[in-house]
Amino acid sequence: MTNLFLLQLLNGMQFGILLFLIAAGLTLVFGIMDFVNLAHGVVYMVGAYLVVTFTSLTGSYGLGLLLTLPATLLVGLVLELSVFRRLYERPHLDQVLATFGLVMIITEGVQVIWGAAPLSVPMPELLSGSVPLIGAMRYPVFRLVIIAAGLLTALGLYLVIGHTRIGMRLRAGASNRAMVAALGVDIGKLFTVIFAFGAMLAGFAGAMVAPVLTVDPGMGEQVLILAFVVIVIGGIGSVRGAFAGALLVGLVDTLGRSFGPILLRAVMEPAAAGQAGRVLAPMLVYILMAVILAVRPSGLFGAKT
């Protein structure tokens, strides 16, 4: 039981880290540009598809990953320059509609290029083993690598945002866009950089999970909405909030699915508990969101309104 718990704890952390990589870019775009981007999930999906192609072209997952990063950065740049920059001054409704249109185009476009059938990318040899946990339990190395990569990214973001010049501009832009522009910072260029960088983070997340999950056209949508939940919980615009929210959502979702039925069995018949657990578990994160919003409408780390 403790072993299973530890295992699921690690799985939950891995899922949370993944959500963080997606939510980080999204929350910056939300917070700083006041921009609703529904198309962020498809960039994650494109990252996963690109790593499949690049890996089969180069024969190496590592090289494939290295090529995917600039490629998704480019995807972000193209999207920003062609569509998003025309929408910053528009009402949220226009932003939602235009990015919804992009979701339709890209999701269908991916099926035209790669087909509708799920794809997969082989796990790199070097990282395909597993390490022993307590007793006979083992844990796949690759999932640990995902956790480590995510934590390093979080650390990197913390340093960049908190301790560099561009990070300072970014924070200034978040609190008062007009003032920063008046002080001579090219706010348009700053937006482009943030946007492309956020797209690269999402692409990185997609590329990292490609060997663990199957790559299919629906993969972007589920994480997109969970990333929204993460951002709402953490507070819009707060990367720290996104980190806390992502881990919380990842853990609650994973532990809820495996231990919910077990806990319910203590108060119910096994069959009913199993059924109730299966129904309740996927709803847990949304209930968590509702509870947090009821107490703190602007999220855990959001500015008080």
Euclidean distance between CA atoms 146 and 124, whole angstroms:
13
Euclidean distance between CA atoms 98 and 120, whole angstroms:
30
Q: Is 83 in the site for other proteins (CB under 8 A)?
A: yes
The DSSP bridge partners found for residue 130 are 140
Instruction: Tell me which residue has tokens 């910072």.
Output: 185
Shorter beta-carbon distance to other proteins: residue 36 or 121? 36
Question: According to CB under 8 A, which one of 10, 66, 109, 114 is a site residue for other proteins?
Answer: 109
Burial string for 33-72 (b: 16+ CB within 10 Å, else e) reads bebbbbbbbbbbbbbbbbbbbbbeeeeebeebbebbbebb
Q: Of 181, 194, 166, whose CA–CA distance to 80 is shortest?
A: 194
Question: In this chain, which stretch among 43-51, 57-65, 81-89, 205-213 interacts with other proteins, using CB under 8 A?
Answer: 81-89
Please state, as a whole number, how many other Cβ atoms lie within 10 Å of the Cβ of residue 285. 21
Q: Is 232 in the site for other proteins (CB under 8 A)?
A: yes
The DSSP bridge partners found for residue 131 are 139
CB 177 to other proteins: min, Å: 15
Q: Is 62 in the site for other proteins (CB under 8 A)?
A: no
Q: Is 36 in the site for other proteins (CB under 8 A)?
A: yes
Question: According to CB under 8 A, which one of 94, 156, 183, 270 is a site residue for other proteins?
Answer: 94
The DSSP bridge partners found for residue 66 are none
Q: Is 297 in the site for other proteins (CB under 8 A)?
A: yes
Q: What separation in angstroms does the CA of 104 have from each of 187, 214, 222?
A: 29, 21, 15
Shorter beta-carbon distance to other proteins: residue 74 or 83? 83
Q: Is 115 in the site for other proteins (CB under 8 A)?
A: no
Euclidean distance between CA atoms 241 and 245, whole angstroms:
6
Q: Is 102 in the site for other proteins (CB under 8 A)?
A: yes
Question: According to CB under 8 A, which one of 90, 152, 175, 269 is a site residue for other proteins?
Answer: 90
Euclidean distance between CA atoms 240 and 234, whole angstroms:
8
CB 294 to other proteins: min, Å: 6
- Consecutive H or E run containing 67: helix 61-82
Question: According to CB under 8 A, which one of 3, 111, 128, 175 is a site residue for other proteins?
Answer: 111
Euclidean distance between CA atoms 18 and 251, whole angstroms:
12
Question: In this chain, which stretch among 6-14, 159-167, 168-176, 286-294 interacts with other proteins, using CB under 8 A?
Answer: 286-294
Q: Is 246 in the site for other proteins (CB under 8 A)?
A: no
CB 252 to other proteins: min, Å: 13
Question: In this chain, which stretch among 59-67, 200-208, 238-246, 275-283 interacts with other proteins, using CB under 8 A?
Answer: 275-283
Q: Is 278 in the site for other proteins (CB under 8 A)?
A: yes
Q: Which two tokens stand for residue 2?
A: 């403790």
- Residue ranges in contact with other proteins by CB under 8 A: 30, 34, 36, 38, 83, 86-87, 90-94, 96-98, 100-105, 107-109, 111-112, 221, 225, 228-229, 231-232, 236, 275, 278-279, 281-283, 286-287, 289-290, 293-294, 297-298, 305
